[in-house]
């Protein structure tokens, strides 16, 4: 834990929505080793906590998540929310109700409570003008959140996420994961953003970004995601006389 004026600084209060997903579970698992993060997760159902986790879990109906977040008034809101086309019953409205509408309800609740920072999971290729529903929804989410009154917004655009999922991955996703050791080597230059990335690396980046103080709107591709923990660990050299 860092110190300010000789006294230990208060840990950053981070609220997580999307705790049951691949990245959400990694955030919970890793946060326990960080004394400078106090994690509260909000979920619609009970979730087994990772071994060694030191956190609070709030069970609530998703319709009330925005209000719960406003009452908690954390320092940082992290959204790892996301569903799949299959889970949404292959229905566009059902898909957007999670990846767009639920994310925005949570973000609006945080913004109204003057939460300083929003960190959100988006996707490589996110574009609100895309003909692809998934990429268009992510792009619309990014645009809407950036307009809210956060001092800092971080949008992560990872490539294919690798990690152990609670359910069998989709066919195309499973095939892509199997081929990723080869295809990643072929993706260079501007194609690096499409490389696969471990969900744990994304979680590490999110935990590091919670400590970044600069205000603004930031979009992070694969390279920036991998570099985030390194940027936090580099300390400025002491000035003469310090």
Return the pLDDT at 242.
34
Question: How far are the Cα atoms of 56, 112, 200 from residue 197, in angstroms, in the given order?
Answer: 28, 33, 8
Return the pLDDT at 85.
86
| Structure confidence by residue, pLDDT tens digits, 102-135 | 999 999 999 999 999 999 999 999 999 999 999 9
Return the pLDDT at 239.
39
| Structure confidence by residue, pLDDT tens digits, 14-26 | 999 999 999 999 9
Return the pLDDT at 121.
98
With tokens 């767009």, the residue in question is 100
Smallest Cα–Cα separation from 45: which of 23, 26, 55, 60?
A: 60
Helix, strand, coil share (%) of the chain residues, nearest 5: 40, 20, 40
Instruction: Give 8's pLDDT tier (boundaries 50, 70, 90).
Output: low
Higher pLDDT: 185 or 29? It is 29
Higher pLDDT: 210 or 173? It is 210
Return the pLDDT at 175.
57
Model confidence, pTM = 0.87
Average pLDDT over residues 28-46: 95
> Is pLDDT of 163 > 60?
yes
For 7-230, CATH number? Answer: 3.40.50.720
Average pLDDT over residues 209-228: 97
């Amino acid at each position: 834990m860092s110190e300010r004026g000789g006294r230990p600084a208060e840990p950053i209060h981070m609220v997580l929505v999307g705790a049951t997903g691949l990245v959400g579970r990694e955030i919970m698992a890793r946060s326990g080793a960080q004394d400078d993060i106090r994690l509260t997760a909000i979920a619609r159902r009970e979730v087994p906590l990772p071994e060694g986790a030191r956190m609070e879990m709030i069970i609530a109906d998703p319709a009330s998540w925005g209000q719960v977040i406003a009452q908690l008034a954390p320092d940082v809101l992290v959204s790892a929310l996301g569903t799949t086309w299959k889970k949404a019953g292959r229905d566009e409205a059902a898909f957007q109700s999670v990846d767009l509408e639920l994310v925005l309800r949570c973000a609006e609740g945080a913004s109204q409570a003057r939460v300083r920072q929003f960190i959100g999971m988006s996707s490589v290729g996110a574009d609100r003008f895309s003909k692809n529903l998934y990429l268009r929804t992510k792009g619309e989410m990014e645009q809407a959140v950036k307009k809210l009154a956060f001092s800092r917004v971080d949008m992560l655009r990872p490539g294919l996420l690798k990690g152990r999922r609670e359910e069998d991955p989709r066919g195309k996703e499973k095939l892509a994961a199997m081929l990723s050791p080869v295809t990643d080597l072929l993706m260079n230059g501007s194609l690096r953003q499409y490389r696969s990335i471990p969900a744990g690396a994304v979680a590490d980046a999110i935990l590091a970004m919670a400590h970044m103080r600069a205000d603004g709107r930031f979009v992070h591709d694969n390279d920036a995601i991998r570099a985030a923990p390194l940027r936090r660990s580099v300390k400025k050299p002491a000035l003469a006389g310090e």
